Amino acid sequence: MGGFNLGDLWFVIAAIFWAGFFVLEGFDFGVGMLHSFIGRNDLERRVVLNTVGPVWDGNEVWLIVAGAVIFAAFPGWYATMFSSLYLALVLVLAALMARGVSFEYQRKFDDPRWRSSWRWAMTVGSALIPLLLGVGLGDLLHGLPINSSHNFTGSFLDLLTPFGLWSGLTLLVLSLLMGATYLTLKTTGELHERAQKASAVIGAVAILVTFGFMTWIHVGLSTGFVPKPIEALGLMAVIGAAWAASAKAEGWAFTAAAIGMAGTVGALFSELYPRVMISSTSAAYNLTIANSASPSYTLKVMTVVAVIFFPIVLVYQAWGYHVFRKRLSVPRVGGDESEDAAPPTGTTTTADAS
Amino acid sequence: MNPLDLARWQFASTSIYHFLFVPVTIGLAFLVALLQTAWYRNGDDTYRRLARFFGSLLLINVAVGVVTGLIQEFEFGMNWSAYSRLVGNVFGGPLAMEGLVAFFLESTFLGIWIFGWNRLSKKAHLACIWLVAAGTMLSAAFIMAANSWMQHPVGYTTNNSTHQPQLNNIWALFTNPVFLWGYTHVVVASLVTGAAIMLGVSAWHLYRKNQVDAFRRTAVISMVVLLPTVAFNLFVGSELGVVEGKYQPMKIAAAEALWTTCPSHCSFSLFQIGGGKNDETPTQILEVPDLLSILATNHVDGEVQGLNNLNAQYQKEYGPGNYIPNVFIQYWSMRVMAYLGTLVFLFALWGAWLLYRHKLDRARWFLRIAPWVVILPFLINTAGWMLTENGRQPWIVQGLMLTKNGVSSSVSATDLWISLVVFYLIYAVLGVSAAWLMIRYGRRSIGDDPLAKLTSEGEGGPGSTGRPGGTGTTSSTDAELGSSHEDEDEFALVY
C-alpha cells in the first residue's frame, strides 16, 4: 500500500456521509417508526413527528450527498452498487417518497382515513429505509456475485445475504434506539414517559443485535478476532446508551446511541477498506478504491468544494438544531390529557411561551 | 419492450414528472420571499398572511419535487450504470456539488422557515426564505451544468488508453454556452410558472370577490413578474435554439423536419401534416419566409443543415448508424412550446393592459380565464424538455456515448417493469394528492386554516403574538381580513 492519497480521503468522506446520514436520519427514522406507537391520538402523533419536523429534510440531504459523493469520486462503485442493489433501492425510493411526502401531507387534511394512510406510510417507510440500506451496505462487505467487468450477475434473492439482513436489522434497531432516546429529550409528560420506557427496552435489544453484528464481522466473515477501535467504540457506546436509557440519563443515552450508530456504519467501511465492494465470485473482481476512483483532477476539485462548503453546512445545520432545541408538549385538549404539559402562561404552545 | 426502451421510458417519465414540480418550487420560493420582504419592509400583516398562504402551496410541491429528484439521482446508477461508470468523473461532480452547496441550503432553511415563524427574529426568518429561494436556483444551476455537458461536452480530455472522457476544466462546465442559455431559460421559465400560479389563484379569488384587497396585491405582483419573464424567455429560448443549432444541428433540423439542407432564407412552417419517422415530404402549411434562418442562425440568409446531410456527416465521423432523433416529437414539441409560450405572452399583455387601466381586479373574463392559464406553463416546460432531450438522441452524451451503450447490462426487463410499475403507482398517488391539496389550499381564504378544527380545539391562536385570535370555526367564503380565522396553523401547535 502506498501513502494516503486522494482516493483514500474520498473513501473516508464517503464513509463520513453515510455514517452522518445514519446518525442524523437514524433518529428521524426512529421517530417515524415510533410515532404510531408513542403517540396515541392525532395530536400526540403530530407532536412526536414535529420533534423532527424542522430538521428531517436537511437530514435526508445527507443521503443524497452520500450517493452523489460516490457518484463523483467513485463512478465505478456507484455504477456497480446501484445497479446491483436494484430492487432493494426501488423499495428504498418508494419508502423515501411515501415517508417524505407524509410529513407534509398527513397534516394537511383532517380525515381519519387520509391520516391513517399517511401515518402507516410514515411508519413502514421509516422502518424499510434503514433496513434495506443496511442490507445493501452489509452486502458490500459480505460480497455479491460480480464479474470481471464489475457487473452484478445475481438476482434479488442474492441480495438477501444473512449478514446483509443482520446489518439491516442492526441499523433498524439502532435507528429505533436513537429515535426513542431523541424523544426522551424532546417531549414532556406522558409522551416523555412512554419514550423513556421504549428506549430502555430497545436499548437491551440493541446490545444484542450490535454484539451479534460485530461478532459476525469478525467470526462469520473471518476478518480476524481483534476488533478495530471503531468497532469496540461502537459496541461500548450502544451498551452505554442502553444503560443510560434505563438510568434516565437522557442526554447521555442519545449521545451514546449516536456514537453507536456511527461506530456501526464506520465498522462496515473500515472493514471494507481499501476495497469498496467485494465480489463473491472472485477476489480478483473486487471493486477497490484504486480501480473505481475518479481521476485526480475530479477528486481535487471535489476536495476544494468540500473543504469550503462542508464546514458551512455543519454550522447552519447545527444552528437549525439550536433554534429548535426546546422540548415539545401536547397542547391541552379539553384539559385532561396532559396536565403537566400545560405551560404556566396558559398558552398551549409551550416551546413558544418559554 | 427491451431493457433499453424500458430504461428510457422510465427516465423520461421520471424527468417529466420531476419537472412538473421543480419550476413551481423555484418560482414560488422566489415569490413567497418577495411577499415576506414586503411584510418585513412595511409591516402590513396582509403580506405576512399572503406569504404563508402561498408558502403552503410551495410546501406541497417541494415535498414531491425533492423525492422525485432523489429517484433521478439513483436512476443514473441503477438504470444507466455504464453511463455512470464512463462519465461519472465529469457528470457526478456537479451532482455532488448540487447536494453539498444547494440541497443542504434549501432543505435546512426550508425546515427552519416552516417552523420558525415565532421562533426567529423577523430578519432572520426573512433571510431563511431567501436562502431557500437561492438554494432552489443554485441547485438548478448545478443540474443544468451537468445536463448541458450531455448536450455539448466541454472541459474534458479523452484518456488515451481507456478512451474515457476525463474532466480537466471544471469552469468550462459553468461557462458552457449551452449551460448559460439553458440555465437562464429554465430559471426564467420557473418564474413564469410560479407567477402564473399566483395569478391564477389570485384571479380565482378576485372573480369571487373574496378578500379583494389581499388578492389584488398578489395579482399585481404576479403580473409584474409574469409579463417581463415570459417576454424575456421567448428571446432566451430563441437564442438557445441558435446555440444548440451550432453544437447540435441535428436537434434543430429535426425540430424543423428539414431533411435536406436549406442554403439560405429558410422558411418556418407553422404546421405540417405528416412528417413522421420516414416521411420526408410532409405537407407544410403556412410557411413564414426567413424565420427558420433567423431562429437557427440569427441571420435572414443563414444556412440550416438538413437531417440527411447531417446523418451522412455523422456516419463518416462515428461509423454506420442512424443519428436522426424522432422527428415527429421534435417538430411538435418545439411548436407546442413556442406557440403556448406566445399565448401566455399575449395573455400577460392583456393583463398588463387591464392593470394599466386599473381594471385587473374587475375584468370578469380575464379573471375567469387566468386559473386555466396555469396549465400552460406545465405543458410548455414539458414540451421544452422533450425538445431538448429527444433532440440529443441517439446520444446520451453528444458525440461521446450512445444512449443504447449507457444502460445497465445487469438489470433485466423484469427488474425494470417492477420499478416502472412501482414508480408509476407512487407518481399517481403523489400526483393526485398534490394536485388535490394544491387546489384545496389554493381555494381557501388567506388566514384560513383548513385544520381549524384541530387548532381551535387545541388553542385559540397563540396569545403571545397579539394577532386576532381564532373564532372557532372557519368559513372559506366570508372570511375577510381581520375577521378571518387565525392562521397560526399546525406549526404553532408545538413550536
- How many structural domains are present in chain A? 1
Could you report the per-residue pLDDT of B63-84, keeping only the tens digit for each? 788 788 888 889 999 999 999 9
Q: B351-354, long-range: CB within 8 Å, 24+ apart, which pairs? A: B351/B199, B351/B223, B351/B226, B351/B227, B352/B223, B352/B227
Mutation for testing the A interface, residue in B410, B438, B441 having most A CBs under 10 Å: B410
Determine the residue of chain A that is closest to B74 in CA distance: A82
Q: Do B457 and A60 touch (CB under 8 A)?
A: no
pLDDT reported for residue B276: 63
Mutation for testing the B interface, residue in A48, A105, A277 having most B CBs under 10 Å: A105
Could you report the per-residue pLDDT of A205-244, keeping only the tens digit for each? 999 999 999 888 887 776 677 778 888 898 898 899 889 8
CA distance B133 to B127: 10
Q: Do A87 and B490 touch (CB under 8 A)?
A: no
C-alpha cell at position A353: 411561551
Could you report the per-residue pLDDT of A137-191, keeping only the tens digit for each? 999 988 888 888 888 888 888 889 999 999 999 999 999 999 999 999 888 888 8
CATH assignment at residue A85 = 1.20.1630.10
- Other beta carbons within 10 angstroms of residue B64's beta carbon come to 27
- Other beta carbons within 10 angstroms of residue B309's beta carbon come to 15
Q: Do A46 and B493 touch (CB under 8 A)?
A: yes
Could you report the per-residue pLDDT of B154-184, keeping only the tens digit for each? 988 888 888 889 999 999 999 999 999 999 9
Nearest to B63 among A104, A294, A346 (CB): A104
In a domain, A104, yes or no: yes
Q: Which residue has the higher pLDDT, B462 or B202?
A: B202
Determine the residue of chain B that is closest to A305 in CA distance: B97
pLDDT for A335 beyond 60: no
User: HSE-up of B233 (CA within 13 Å, CB side)?
Assistant: 31
B 163-192 residues with CB below 8 A of A?
166-168, 170
Q: Do A150 and B463 touch (CB under 8 A)?
A: no
Q: Do B60 and A57 touch (CB under 8 A)?
A: no
User: Is B397 an interface residue toward A (CB < 8 Å)?
Assistant: no
Distance from CA of A236 to the nearest CA of B (A): 32
Mean pLDDT along residues B259-270: 79
CB B300 within 8 A of CB B315: no
CB A10 within 8 A of CB A293: yes
Residue B471, φ and ψ in degrees, nearest 5: -105, 15
Q: Do B95 and A72 touch (CB under 8 A)?
A: yes
3-state SS, residue A6: helix
Q: What is the pTM of this model?
A: 0.85
Mutation for testing the B interface, residue in A21, A45, A55, A71 having most B CBs under 10 Å: A71
Domain ranges of chain B: 3-238+326-443, 249-324, 447-495
As a whole-number percent, the residues of chain A with pLDDT over 70 amount to: 91
CA dist B159 to A80, A295, B80, B163, B484, Å? 22, 10, 21, 5, 67
The single-letter code of the amino acid at A131 is: L
Q: Which residue has the higher pLDDT, B297 or B38?
A: B38
- Other beta carbons within 10 angstroms of residue B68's beta carbon come to 23
User: Is B208 an interface residue toward A (CB < 8 Å)?
Assistant: no
Q: Do A57 and B79 touch (CB under 8 A)?
A: no
Q: Do A349 and B462 touch (CB under 8 A)?
A: yes
Q: Do A81 and B68 touch (CB under 8 A)?
A: no
In a domain, A330, yes or no: no
Non-local CB neighbours of B157 within 8 Å, separated by 6+ positions: B165, B166, B168
Distance from CA of A178 to the nearest CA of B (A): 21
Could you report the per-residue pLDDT of B120-135, keeping only the tens digit for each? 889 999 999 999 999 9
- Residues of chain B positioned with their CB less than 8 A from the CB of A108: 60, 437, 440-441, 450-451
Q: Do A297 and B168 touch (CB under 8 A)?
A: yes
In a domain, A340, yes or no: no
Could you report the per-residue pLDDT of B394-437, keeping only the tens digit for each? 999 988 899 989 888 888 888 899 999 999 998 898 888 888 88
Q: B281-287, long-range: CB within 8 Å, 24+ apart, which pairs? A: B282/B257
Q: Computed over its alpha carbons, how large is the radius of gyration of chain A?
A: 21
Q: Do B104 and A317 touch (CB under 8 A)?
A: yes
- Residues of chain A positioned with their CB less than 8 A from the CB of B170: 301
CA distance B445 to B451: 13
Q: Do A75 and B85 touch (CB under 8 A)?
A: yes
Residue A100 belongs to what domain range? 6-323
- Residues of chain A positioned with their CB less than 8 A from the CB of B89: 72, 75, 294-295, 298
Nearest to B96 among A69, A110, A347 (CB): A69
The single-letter code of the amino acid at B147 is: N
CA distance B125 to B35: 13
- Residues of chain B positioned with their CB less than 8 A from the CB of A90: 78, 418-419, 422-423
CA distance B241 to B384: 11
CA distance A107 to B491: 10
CA distance B440 to B444: 7
CA distance B316 to B310: 10
pLDDT reported for residue A351: 35
E strand or H helix at B291: helix B291-297
Distance from CA of B456 to the nearest CA of A (A): 10
Mean pLDDT estimate for chain B: 83
Nearest to B60 among A98, A104, A309 (CB): A104
In a domain, A343, yes or no: no
Determine the residue of chain A that is closest to B493 in CA distance: A349
ipTM at complex level: 0.83
In a domain, A333, yes or no: no
Nearest to B453 among A87, A107, A110 (CB): A110
pLDDT reported for residue B277: 62
CA distance A63 to A89: 13
B 60-119 residues with CB below 8 A of A?
60, 62-64, 66-71, 73-74, 76-79, 81-82, 84-93, 95-101, 103-105, 107-112, 114-116, 118-119
In a domain, A28, yes or no: yes
User: Is B424 an interface residue toward A (CB < 8 Å)?
Assistant: no
Q: Do A75 and B74 touch (CB under 8 A)?
A: no
The single-letter code of the amino acid at B372 is: W
- Residues of chain A positioned with their CB less than 8 A from the CB of B448: none
The single-letter code of the amino acid at B450 is: P
Confidence of residue A350 (pLDDT cuts 50, 70, 90): very low
CA dist A17 to A71, A81, A308, Å? 13, 16, 16
